[in-house]
Each structure stands twice: as C-alpha cells, then as structure tokens.
Chains A and B, each alone.
Chain A
Amino acid sequence: MSNDLSHALQAQVKEALANKQTLAIIGGQSKKFLQTPVATSTLELVNHSGVIDYQPSELFITARAGTPLSEIEHLLAEHQQLLASESPHFSRGENLATLGGTIACGYSGSRRPFSGSLRDHVLGVRILNGEGELLTFGGQVMKNVAGFDVSRLMVGARGTLGALLEITLRVMPKPEAEITLRFECSLRHSAQCMVDFMHQSLPLSAMAWLEGAVFIRLQGTERVIQNAKQKVGGELMTNSPHFWQSLGEQTHPFFHAQSPLWRLSMPPSSHLEIPEQALFVDWCGGLRWWHTDKSEDEVKKMAAKQGGYAYLFRDAVPVSGDVPPAHLLALHQRLKKSFDPQCIFNPGVMGDSV
C-alpha cells in the first residue's frame, strides 16, 4: 500500500504545537517491551507507507516510514539484495515492525561487526521537526558531507528529535550461500578463539558464543565457503538461517529465561564474570545478552569497568532502554531543543530528561 500523508502529518504537528499538546509517535507497535511515550496525543505513521524509489544497481532504497520492514526485505530479496545490518523486527512473526520504528530504535543484528550497523547504512531522511517543518537531509548517495549528518543522528534517537517520514538506506548484494560452523569452546577461551578467526581472512558474516560453543557464519559463493570450511573445520549446523534469526529476534530458548534481560555493549575481548548459562555473546564479543536479577547499579558498573555500557532491555514491565549517559546529558538536552524546542515529540522515551 502506497500512501503519502506528509502534509496531513505536518498539519497534525502544527496543530499540536498550537494547542500545546505532546505527541507520541506510533509505528507498528512491535516493540511493546519499550516504554511508551507519555503524551497527550498521537502521531500515527503506519499508514504513511510505500517504497518511493528502489534502484538495485544504485544500491539504495527510499521508503516511507510506515512501510513494513518485511515488505522492504521481501522486495530486496527479489533482487538478491538485503539490508546488511540485519536489524531485528521483534514482531513475533506478525510483520508489525515499520521502517521508521526500526530506524528510530537503531538496533543492528549479528552482521554488525562485518557489514556495519543500521546507522552506517542510512543515507538520507525526510523528517518533520518539532516546529512542523518538513526537512530533508542526506540523499541517495553514499558519500555526502554537505551539512551535519542529521540523517544518522536520527538513528536510535527514538523519535525524540523528529518524526521520520522517509528514509533512504544503502542496500547490499545478498550472498549466494551461507553456512554456520560450530566449535566447542569455553566462554573463557571464546575471546581468543574469535580473535584468531578474525585473522584468517574468512568470509565471515557473524560470530557468536552460546552454550559452550563458538558459532561462525560464512557467506559467499559455494566455492569460497567450501574453501573456508576446509581451512577451519568445525561442525556444520543444519539450520543456519533459522539459528541466527532466532538469536536476532530473541525467540531462541535462551531468551525464554524469566530474569530480566540486559544488553551490554562491550569492547569485544573484554572479560566479564558472568555464569555461562545466563549469557549469549554476539558481534564477536562486542554485544552480550545477560539474564540476571542483579541491580541496575551493579550491571552498569560491571560494564563500565571494562569500558562498555549496559541497559535493561526486557523486563516484566516496559523498560526505557538506552538513555543518555550522565556526562552527555546537557548536550542531549540542547540538541533535543534544537530540533524540538517545545518538546512535543515522544516525551519520556529516553528517560525523563530528554
């Protein structure tokens, strides 16, 4: 379904401004585990949808924010392409996730260390800022340094800097084939094991540790993959795509544990004393998922001590997720004001102060 509601949405923002209302920007509501904004009114983006421009040979796609992520992925797959960041939907199989919501949350999947993050692939955006102005930044080309990089600033800003209307993403060729290999390895040795794999010029597209084993995903042509497999050995997994999807979408049994789920972004080789069964390591060590009942203070301190940061990702009640670090809070507030002077967008989703 293709539908341009830019002007109606703009009118709604202007009206909210005039009436001193606040707006909760609503997409597909897939990420229900996150705190919803505390606003007086809503700005619904789901019906502002449709792919606007897709040029496979130019490696970009432009679509409206309400376009389902799955629609984009299917279209790309038809042309042997994909979104290289492998961003999760968290839709529980219902195709709820929209492009806009995906960008606003800014999550990247297992491919992150090898093909870049979601923000790395954002080339341009069209937004409504807090004054109801329609603004375009970036474009459809990879190299573009005209003006500040507002497009990438929007990624992960959770809608607090403006309502995303259109997004242009870089797309990548889909590898011909993939396989996943499993290697028995203790958590303690996993960091060195991953470092060693990194130095072997393998066509890697994911590397994780779970339940006593390191998993590597290789991609490329059949020949390249077979060659690499001969070089490193390992046990061939039969259901590679399903395995990575279940980890990315957090449907894997690991995520069924009852304790709150913490997300820790860490220097890849840093060591944390965490019980093995409560931990899943992605991004070659750069991302750790930890089920624990420890206090917020304790987890955050543990991560910070090793040069990382942590936030509560899922709990029995909705969580606020990532909030600005204290030393950058003032700057965040000023930036927020520069886009949304009256603070009408998504109050409370990034902590109380932004």
Chain B
Amino acid sequence: MSLSNITRGLLIAQLKKVLSKESLLQEPETMRPYECDGLSAYRQLPGVVCLPETVEQVQAVMRICYALKVPIVPRGAGTGLSGGALPDSAGVLLVLTKLNHILEIDTQNFCARIEPGVRNLALSDVTRPLGLYYAPDPSSQMACTIGGNVAENSGGVHCLKYGLTVHNVLGLKIITVEGELLEIGGKTLDSSGYDLLALLCGSEGLLGVVVEVTVRLLPCPEYAQVLLAVFDDVAKAGSTVSHIIAAGIIPAGLEMMDKLVIQAVEDFTHAGFPKHAHAILLCEMDGAKTEVIEQISRVQDIMLQSGAFELRVAKDEAERALFWKSRKSAFTALGRLSPDYYCMDGTIPRRSLATVLTRIAALSEAFNLPVANVFHAGDGNLHPLILYDANREGDLKQTERLGSQILELCVSVGGTITGEHGVGIEKLGGMCMQFTSSELTQFLAVKTAFDEQGLLNPGKAIPTLHRCAEFGAMHVHQGQLTFPELERY
C-alpha cells in the first residue's frame, strides 16, 4: 500500500510548514539513499523523508502524521541489520541524524545528555579527555547513532563486563505517537514507577521516538590489556570460553573469530593474526594495573590448559588498538570476500558453543554456502555470516533458509533468535518460533498501550498472529524443531 495522492499532497503541504526545504525529501532520487538499512536485501522507497533539526520539529511532524493517520518509521544512521528502519511506502521516514548535539557532559554526575543522532563513537571521543567514556561499543560505533542503539538495545565487544545499552541509559525523552514529549528517568540510578527505560530499550521504534538520551559515563580504566589465543580447532576455542567464565573471571571483552574471518581480517588490517589458525580468541582485561596483570596470567593458564597453541599479549597500546580495530572491521573485511553477506545474531548458552559451531559448519556444507563466524563469545552471542551472491538465482532464498535453520538451532539449545541486532522485518518468523501466541498477544497489547493505531514502525519487531499462521504454513515441519535429537533445556 502506498500513500494516496490526496493524503500525500496534504501531508507534504503540512510538513512544509514545519520543516526547512532541505529537511523534506520527496523525490525518488533524493530518497534513494534511505531505501534500506544494513539489511540491504530489503528495499523500499518511503512516502517522504523528514530530517528534523529540532525536538519541536519532531513533535510537529508526529502531530501531523497522527492527525492524518500516516505511519512513521524512525531511522538513525541506518546501520541496523534486521531491517528495522526499512521505510514504509505509505509513511514518513523520520531520520534523526540532524539531532546530533551533545547537550551536556556532567563530569560530577558521571553522565551525558545527548541527542539521538549523536554517533556512538563521537560521544566517547569527546569524553575521553575528561577521563570518562560510554561503555557500549557496537562494532558499527563509527556510524551508528545513540538513538538507534537505544532502539536496538545494542551491545558491543565490551558488554560482557559493562552491559548493554539498557544498563547504561539513565534517562530518555521520547515523543509519543500523539506528539507528546515524555521524560523518563534522568540523572538518577533508578526511576519512579514502572521500569519504562527497560521497556523502551530495544523497542525498535515501536513505542516512541527517542529525542534525548541521558547515558552513564564510566571512568576510563587505568589499564587494559588484550590477550590473543590461537587454536587449531573451533570447538576447543568454544570450550575455552566456558572455562574462563567458570573460573570466576569476567573479562571486559571475549571475542572469537574462525578461520574464514581471520584470513579476511588479516588481509584487511595486517594485525599479524596467524592465517593458519582455525580459531582465535581475543580476551581483554581492564581495571587497576595489578588486577589486570594478575587476571591476564590466570587466563593464560586456562587458555593453555584448554588447548591454545599460541598466546600473544598485545605489546603496546597501539597493538591493542589494532587487535580491536581488526575485530571491529570483520564485517567490512568479509564484505570484500563475497558480494553479499547475511548476518545472523542468535545467542546461546556458552556451554553449547562447541556443539552449535560444529552444527553450523555441517549446515554450511549441506547448503553449500560458506559461513564465517565472528562473535561475542563471552556472551554466547553468535554472528554467523552467510556469504552469498544476491545476483545468483535462488541464492538469497537458500541463504534465508539456512539462516532460519541456524536460528532454530539457537532456540533449541535454550537460546534466542536475536542477541543485539533486533527482530526488525527479518526475524518476524523467528518470533513465531520463539514465542507462543499468548506471549505475542501480550507484546501486541504493550504496543497498543503506547500506540493504539499502530502508526509507529508498523509491521516490525512483533508479528501479528495472522503473520505467524502464514509463516507456519510455509514450513514443512510445522511446529517441529529441526533437531529433535538435541537435548532441550
């Protein structure tokens, strides 16, 4: 469905009254850059694109849309990997990147008030000279916005110790679908009433438009050190992760890469990763110097006992930074290997890492599609990347089928279909797999409490029961898990 000419005319006439010329895009050529987010397999031109510069403009746009019953899709930098910011042809794409001011850095209260369009990394760049930083660091942090981070409850390589976005947000200002400004929380460590902050974090733009965020800043640790461990077997690396956690150590970050990734990354950044390795683990410790040194030595012992055949400690700060840069550029590096990739995001209990990685390898072979693994091992948050070619007939279909089997596998070992990338448009089917119809109905009821008419980011994140019925019918093994032989937890 697209906007009727009458509604579109009315809408544009009203939007023109509140937005500057440059903030309102309505021609296909100018709207083209916004037709997809990081999940580029799905594309759609929006009805119009609005790029408000002030909170008042956001509010005005929302009021206009509400009165005309026009859907709104919020968008940050468009790096989302689940199609959450995929435009609605009958709606407004509300791009928040021009709201990009750091409003206040409060060093006494360890927090900052920022607008949603501020880039994740830009914030820490400004606060680091003051001895403070914002902990959640998605690999996309150069580009992604804080508003998008809140909407997706994004994580990063350091969230094992420092938590996800939800653990680092103290306050929010949102504009409701009716155009009302609501203030939730503030500079305090908790807030009055229901925990609306928790509910809004990860709500994928379905409950309100975030126009201001108060984030917690942490003091920069005195010292950080990263350890690189090399393995000749993915499963060994997987169990090493469990052994470290079982020993009572919570590293700041614990990341894993398999052979395909190591090779791609090494060609890209030349960090000196051993290309013959089957898996490497990057394990970072931070804190007081004595503490870090003590923990590094304990982790070294565990890694050797668990079968690492080579260990390397970053020799200086520059090498440490290079190791992390390599990790964070993994997706980009893989992008050079293959015309397209499809990034999965299931989380599993750590104890199942070895089993699941082995199963994924088998699936990859069966589908004849390469799967690269680079992921937040400490959290059990997998990112299998399926390499495919969208121009090859049937490749995308096969890729999606493989992806959905990988997610089923994650759910069947007691995990979840998405750890940090969100459901968006992409994992609606997975939602039907993970939740019962009463649970989905409860989600829909929550949505209704915020947005009765379903105008905010419609068709995303929470599937309707109708949609699940359709999805179920598509599946041959309706209601049956693909791996009945696996133990259920």
Contacts and interface: CB of A to CB of B under 8 A. Distances in A.
Contacts of B334: none
B144 interface: no
Interface stretch (A12-20, A150-158, A179-187): A150-158
Contacts of A240: none
Interface of B: 106-111, 131, 152-153, 155, 159-160, 163-164, 166-167, 182-184, 186-196, 198-199, 201-203, 207, 219, 221-223, 242, 245-246, 248-250, 287-291, 294, 347-351, 376, 379-381, 414-423, 427, 430-431, 434-436, 438-439, 442-443, 445-450, 461-462, 489
Contact of A141 (B294, B379, B427): B379
A199 B108 CA distance: 11
Interface of A: 53, 55-59, 80-81, 106, 108, 112-113, 116-117, 119-120, 129, 133-137, 139-150, 152-153, 155-157, 161, 172-174, 191, 195, 198-203, 220-221, 223-224, 227-228, 265-270, 283, 286-287, 307-309, 311, 322-325, 327-328, 331-332, 334-335, 337-339, 350
B439 A137 contact: yes
A52 to B, nearest CB: 11
Contacts of A202: 288
Given A325-B193, A327-B182, A328-B193, A148 B347 contact: no
A157 B195 contact: yes
A133 B12 CA distance: 45
A58 to B, nearest CB: 5
B155, B166, B193, B379, most chain A CB atoms within 10 A: B193
Given A55-B351, A140-B349, A267-B109, A145 B196 contact: no
Nearest to B427: A146
Contact of B349 (A58, A147, A269, A309): A58
Contacts of B438: 133-135
Given A56-B246, A265-B190, A203 B287 contact: yes
A135 B152 contact: no
B189 A57 contact: no
Given A133-B438, A157-B195, A228 B110 contact: no
20 contacts: A55-B351, A112-B189, A113-B189, A120-B163, A139-B414, A141-B381, A142-B160, A143-B159, A143-B379, A143-B420, A145-B152, A145-B419, A149-B166, A157-B194, A157-B195, A201-B222, A227-B288, A266-B188, A283-B189, A308-B188
Given A153-B198, A269-B108, A145 B422 contact: yes
- Nearest 3 CB-CB pairings of A with B: A201-B222, A173-B248, A152-B198
Contacts of B427: 146
Contact of B431 (A142, A146, A228, A350): A146
B189 A145 contact: no
